[in-house]
Amino acid sequence: MRKPTFPEGYADGAFAVGTACFSIVDTGRKELLGDASADRRITVRMYYPAGKAAVSGKERAVIFSDLKKAAIMKAYHIRKVRREDNLADYYENVPVAEGQTFPLILFSMGYNSYVESNTYLLCALASRGYIIASVGHAYEAVENDYEDGSADYFDKHINQIMYDRSLISTILAQNKLLKKKLSFQEALDRFEVFQNTYTSYIGNRVPEWEQDMLKALEAVKERYAAHLDLSRGVGASGHSLGGCLAYYLCRYHAEFCCGINIDGGLFGAYPDKPMTKPFCQISCTDNINVETRPFLQTTADTYQVIFSDMKHMGFTDAKFYIPFRMLSGKLDSQEMFRHLAYCHQTFFDKYLKGQDIGFDGLPSDKVSYRKIV
């Protein structure tokens, strides 16, 4: 693994960043994947503001456990991960900063990704006064760690049932959809045909992930009750299918008051009533046609941010350690992160903290911002 170029000053807010992990057993749901013989499990990694004095002299926490590191190295064809490359600017199990409460954001990973996929971004938010719970989904991540020391891995059987037609015909249909220049409504209509014809499995997983997020929210509210400011509601964000979940949660659950989708196709079924909550859709130019739903049937502030010279995986921390531009895009990693962090901090400062600020974007010829509604 080449030495990564970390985002410059990614956790330079007023707070240090603490992290902690816990897992949940949902006794009300049987697992449908893996060996399908037990209750559904959920893993959560917390990122939260901590006092800077509380971390003085402490060692930074590792990003990946040994099991996860091995799984990611295999999945991404990485030969070596040095210890210094596996440290983030956060600290394990330090106290939450005292004297104030903080808004809560739930974050969901992408499909076949991992719960720490956007550690730099979530550390940046925590250092600026947010508590974030990043949720892992059993058997649909590269690897998940649990409190009892066990782990699960991506269920390879999914590869055999993910597509309703052949993989080749699915890819051809997807490419045809993505490359056309379409209006928002035309793109949504064609995407609906695509998901119902080729990828109904993915759409059917959305309600299962929804339940994971709601169980995680319940647990976080119990464990961190004294530190949460829920006066405006809960924010949601995620990458890929996790970004789809952010929109889904805002559409179906009153407690989620605003959200950001990082380049996620909007799989699943949605209510006919208008969206009433602020939302930001972040896209690379490749995927715009599968991400137009937020701009239709809404009465709330809605933004579109488009990244040029970017690929889907480049919106995660992988942008800093995967050298293959065909996977992460040509856009400079520092510029990518600067805009991604701006979108999150400014959007949530405005709609979750209630600050009277604009959402006008940063100057760039590679990233465009516009308000749709």
The 10 Å CB-count burial string (b at 16+, else e) for 306-330 is bbebbbbbbbbbbbbbbeeeeebbe
What phi, psi does 144 have (nearest 5°)? -125, 135
State pLDDT tens for residues 140-176.
Answer: 999 999 999 999 999 999 999 999 999 999 999 999 9
Q: How does pLDDT run along the chain (373 residues), one tens digit per residue?
A: 444 568 999 999 999 999 999 999 999 999 999 988 899 999 999 999 999 999 999 999 999 999 999 999 998 888 888 888 899 999 999 999 999 999 999 999 999 999 999 999 999 999 999 999 999 999 999 999 999 999 999 999 999 999 999 999 999 999 999 999 999 999 999 999 999 999 999 999 999 999 999 999 999 999 999 999 999 999 999 999 999 999 999 999 999 999 999 999 999 999 999 999 999 999 999 999 999 999 999 999 999 999 999 999 999 999 988 767 888 999 999 999 999 999 999 999 999 999 999 999 999 999 999 999 9
* Chain centre distance of CA 131: 14
Q: Starting at the edge strand that comes first in sequence, how are the strands of the sheet with 104-108 ordered?
A: 91-92, 16-30, 39-50, 131-137, 104-108, 234-239, 256-262, 279-284, 302-307, 367-371
Number of helices followed by number of strands (H, E) in the chain: 9, 12
Is 51 strand, coil or helix? Answer: coil
Question: Where does 16-162+199-371 sit in CATH, by number?
Answer: 3.40.50.1820
Predicted TM-score (pTM) of this structure: 0.97
The pair of three-digit structure tokens given for residue 38, joined into one six-digit string: 């037990």
| CA torsion, ordered 330, 335, 259, 248, to nearest 10 deg | 10
Burial class (CB in 10 A: 0-12, 13-18, 19+), 158: middle
